[in-house]
Structure 1
Amino acid sequence: MSAVFTQEKFRGGIAADDKYWEALADGEFRLCRCAQCGTWMVPAHYRCGACGSWEQVWPLVEPLGTIYSWTRTRMAFPRTEARADDVPFVTALVEVDGTDGARIFGIVVDTGTAPHIGDRVRGEIRPGTEKSFGYPTIEWQLVDAPTPAPGAGSTEGARA
């Protein structure tokens, strides 16, 4: 496991989602599920809100889903100054197939086509970098969208 993110862990969390980040670091997309009743627990927490069980499983899930919401970031904020060269970029909240509505955030790859709520996307795991403080990330690619050409235009001017 290459969990470099543990050196720069975000403060204030309860660490229930560590297995999510560890799986991403290993190139696997796993989401938390109650071992007793099967409820998806995203974001992860230690106790199931449906049945009260303390037992979880972390099954492999195909990173495929539908854009539930999205936003375009047009400036780097404090603690994200390292990403200044990446703006503007689109972040989407994706409802993952087969998970009863569990939603995961990720960056949408710029294809020159603006995303829309309801668009189908497929995720690809990227290893942690200095910019991401060692955290691995998931990038969502619009399904059936054209592959971006080198130097392709941004989605600037699209609805945000």
Structure 2
Amino acid sequence: MAQMINGQLGAEGPYWDALAQGRLVLPRCNGCGKWHWPAVWRCGACGSWDHAWHEQPLAGTVFTWTRTHHRFAGTEGLDLPYATALVLLDAVPIRLNGLIEGDESALAIGAAVTGRTAFTQFGKDKIPSIRWNLA
């Protein structure tokens, strides 16, 4: 599932592999404890190359959101309009994007959400994704 770059998995490979298995994992530097997203090979804070991936719950608050009314290439599998949210996770200081599903009537910045993993049709590919629901 993870993309190969020059014969190696991209730094974010474990994220995509876990998402495809229904789990969320995020990288943390073993040198200084800093969480990283997007994933990096080397910590910019302490220089360590040593990171560990930790499973995280899919829960947080809406940092910002948008509703899309027009079709973009590759989004033919989504019903219009659709809403996406950038969510600040509760457990770690990381923000992740995902589609909003279910009742959107209370969608607002600061709203509590819980998530689940899913696959989203993008063009001819099915990619692992996050779906957020208002809590």
TM-score, length basis structure 1: 0.74
Q: 2:20 aligns with which of 25, 49, 55?
A: 25
What residue is the counterpart of 2:87 in the other structure? 94
Matched ranges for 1:8-157 at <5 A = 15-80=10-75, 82-83=76-77, 85-99=78-92, 101-126=93-118, 128-131=119-122, 133-143=125-135
Q: Return the structure number with greater strand share.
A: 2
AA partner of residue 74 (structure 1): H
Matches of 2:46 and 2:87, distance apart in 1: 26
Q: Matched residue of 2:56: which SS?
A: coil
Taking the aligned partners of 1:54 and 1:91, their CA distance within structure 2 comes to 33
Does the 8 A contact of 2:22 with 2:117 survive in 1? Answer: yes
1:112, CA displacement in angstroms? 4.3
Sort the Cα spacing of 1:75 and 1:114 in 2 relative to 1 into closer, same or farther, 3 A. Answer: farther
Instruction: Tell me, yes or no, if the aligned pair for 1:89 and 1:110 is still in contact at 8 Å.
Output: no
Determine the C-alpha separation between the residues in 1 that align with 2:121 and 2:111: 30
Identical positions, percent: 39
Give the count of matched residue pairs: 130
The residue type equivalent to 1:49 in the other structure is G
Which digits, 9 at most, give the CA deviation of each residue in 1:38-89, with x for residues without a partner? 1110111111121111111110001110100101111111233x23x51101
Q: Which amino acid aligns with 1:118?
A: G
CA–CA distance in 2 between the matches of 1:71 and 1:103? 15
Partner amino acid for 1:22?
D
- Which residue identity lines up with residue 94 of structure 1 in the other structure? V
Q: TM-score, normalised by structure 2?
A: 0.87
**Separation in structure 2 between the aligned mates of residue 51 and residue 131 of structure 1, nearest angstrom:** 37
Structure 2 Cα separation of the partners of residues 43 and 129 of structure 1: 20
